[in-house]
Structure 1
Amino acid sequence: MKHSFDSREAAAARAAMVEEQLVARGIADPRVLDAMRQLPREAFLSAATSAAYADSAQPIEAGQTISQPYIVALMAEAARIGPADRVLEVGAGSGYAAAVCAALAAEVYAIERHPQLVEIARARLERLGIANVHLQAGDGTLGWPDAAPFDAILVSAAGPRVPESLRSQLAEEGRLVMPVGRRHATQQLVRVTRGANGFVEEHFAAVAFVPLIGAEGFESS
């Protein structure tokens, strides 16, 4: 596939991805499906090939990965992101998930611990004209206190528990979605909702994510 965001091949690959990988697995939110149908995933990889739409994670810069399309859609749907919402994403990586959230929300604040990836993601978002994503390098387990509270928080790495800093930055009725479990093992994707009487936790699916590194996550190995 050529690096052309408007190519017929890319549009067909996106449509097939949505139907075969997302709809077929139960993703039903029309806004999530439309965002992923329109967003050029190939623009977030160093080499624009048909692998951009494969049903698997793909390598990106700094030895990291971009999650498979289904996981991105599952997390976005579970977060129940509304058009007026403010969203925090922890683990921005290539910038793709932040771009999906940007199509669903009013503002997105994305944190990435690798400064190299922050600069790369920022350039990609700018090229696509996506202006409602704010990026910074830092420890994502501590959140973004100056921009809190958030209506939704998505964490694209697995921690041993939900960081207390992130819980505290949820708005009333805010939703946090992240994988929880041991590093380099199967984890559970959970949603934590902040209610008037505390937090409610729900489990969604077994997943496998890279470890969440930081003060309230795992130590760097």
Structure 2
Amino acid sequence: MNFEQARFNMIEQQIRPWDVLDADVLQLLAVIKREDFVPLAHKVLAFADMEIPLGHGQSMLPPRVEARMLQDAVVQKTDNVLEIGSGSGYMAALLANQAHRVISLEINPDLAKMARENLQKAGITNAEVRQFDGSKGASAESPFDVIVLSGSVAEVPQALLAQLKVGGRLVAIVGDEPVMRATVVTRTSDTDFTTTQPWDTVAQRLQNFPEPERFTF
């Protein structure tokens, strides 16, 4: 398989048409080897427009979704970033190349180990993977400039919003199937937040985040 051609096709045919036009993001996707973060059994699917199984009922988000979330996060070189849901470590690798420091929380010990090893092999030293329940965030290290949820939640958790700096951004996929919305929350003051929902997608649930009670008739 010609990985370089497949990577080029992924960027030009999937990601750019999905309104990912930030030159830095596109350059990063060309440099970070996505195939090195995909389980061996699925390596040929590394650049496919699909979720890739990681085991333990978890999966990698499609490339265009990760790219769009990265673009929406507007990560700066001085930013301290918190990621919830390390998965294979690919999103942490992308974030680490744009940020000062990344803490990535993964609830599953096997996935945390995989992500840690993948980041180490890629030579990324400013991203730390911790096996931890990400629904609580990492209050000891807060506040963060950017918080990225690499999976979906029913609603934006207040506990994570409280860990944002003023001016900080939280990027998440919020809602229920069949339609979820990419949600960008910016903290504008100690008490105020602004929210935009620029695009729709569907993603697997992150574990241990609260689900609102459903009324049945």
TM-score under structure 1 length normalisation: 0.90
- The yes-or-no answer on 1:10 pairing with 2:10 is no
After TM superposition, what 4+ stretches of structure 1 lie above 6 angstroms from structure 2?
Answer: none
- Which of 194, 202, 213 is matched with 2:207 structurally? 213
Q: Structure 2 regions of 5+ residues with no counterpart? A: 213-217
Shift of 1:50: 2.8
**Superposed counterparts of 1:17-56, under 5 Å:** 17-47=10-40, 49-56=43-50
2-structure distance, mates of 1:49, 1:199: 40
2-structure distance, mates of 1:147, 1:134: 12
1-structure distance, mates of 2:106, 2:178: 22
1-structure distance, mates of 2:43, 2:131: 28
- The yes-or-no answer on 1:130 pairing with 2:135 is no
Shift of 1:212: 2.5
**Superposed counterparts of 1:99-138, under 5 Å:** 99-138=93-132
Report which of the two has the higher share of strand. Answer: 2
Question: Are the aligned partners of 2:85 and 2:106 in contact in 1 as well (CA < 8 Å)?
Answer: yes
Aligned to 2:162: 168
Number of residue pairs the alignment of both structures matches:
210
Say what the alpha-carbon RMSD is for the aligned residues: 1.5
The SS at the match of 2:16 is helix
Amino acid at match of 1:22: I
Aligned to 2:64: 70
Question: Are the aligned partners of 2:112 and 2:131 in contact in 1 as well (CA < 8 Å)?
Answer: yes
- Which of 86, 91, 94 is matched with 1:92 structurally? 86
Shift of 1:173: 0.5
1:88-129 per-position Cα deviation (integer Å, ceiling 9, x unaligned): 111111111111111111111101111110011101111111
Q: Structure 1 regions of 5+ residues with no counterpart? A: 2-8
Aligned to 2:215: none
1:9-53 per-position Cα deviation (integer Å, ceiling 9, x unaligned): 222221221111111221111111111111111111112633100
Amino acid at match of 1:186: V
Question: Are the aligned partners of 1:84 and 1:105 in contact in 2 as well (CA < 8 Å)?
Answer: yes
Q: Which moved more, 1:194-203 or 1:71-80?
A: 194-203
- Which of 196, 199, 204 is matched with 2:198 structurally? 204
